[in-house]
Amino acid sequence: MLVTPEDPVWIDVWVPSGDPLWDADVTRAFDWLGATWGSALKQIGLAGVEVQSGRPVDRTRWSSLICFGGVGAGEVTVTGRKVVGLSQRRNRVGAWFHGACVLHWDPQLLVDLLRITSDERSVASGYLAEAVTGVADEMASQGGIRRMVVANAAGAVAAAFIDSLP
């Protein structure tokens, strides 16, 4: 698989019902996962990492169209900008959690896929450029490194996530 700067780090986790990490409350169920992502990003040296606990806090005009358009339960921000998006699918035997951690953010790639007017495209792109950031972008802006190599960033994030699992 070719990794480009726009590719997120995708990590899926299965939690069977009855597991100590299982929570029947679909909102609380994200708490441990968000804490794991937050710990992983701190471990690789990011400052300003925050994990949203509880209900979504940032429902926006774009959040119903674009996951990264708002901040939901367990999702992670860095300096107030979203870097990790989460979702889950569940049934009586367990929950399958999906996580996406952005390495480099270019909202135009996503916005161009939407069936919206060119004016809406411009507004969405502007909003998302401010609301979201990438891990590699933040590492570079925080002075931790001059330029993070994307393949190394993906590996570092995945390894830190695994290391942070409860």
Each residue's pLDDT tens digit, 62-102? 888 888 899 999 999 999 999 999 999 999 999 999 999 99
| H or E element in which residue 95 lies | strand 94-101
Residue whose pair of structure tokens reads 């794991």 in the numeric block: 36
| H or E element in which residue 76 lies | strand 76-78
Residue whose pair of structure tokens reads 């995945």 in the numeric block: 158
For the CA atoms of 20, 35, 59, 124, the dihedral, rounded to the nearest 10 degrees, stands at -130
| H or E element in which residue 33 lies | helix 31-43
Q: Any idea where the domains of the chain sit in the sequence?
A: 9-164
Stronger pLDDT, 67 or 120, i.e. the higher one: 120
pLDDT recorded at residue 56 = 66
CA-CA-CA-CA torsion sign (20, 34, 96, 158): negative
∠ at Cα 87 (85, 90), nearest 5°? Answer: 165
Tens of pLDDT, residues 20-33: 999 999 999 999 99
Q: Structure tokens of 96? A: 């399958």
| Residue 43 reports pLDDT greater than 90 | yes
The hierarchical CATH code for the domain 9-164 is: 3.30.930
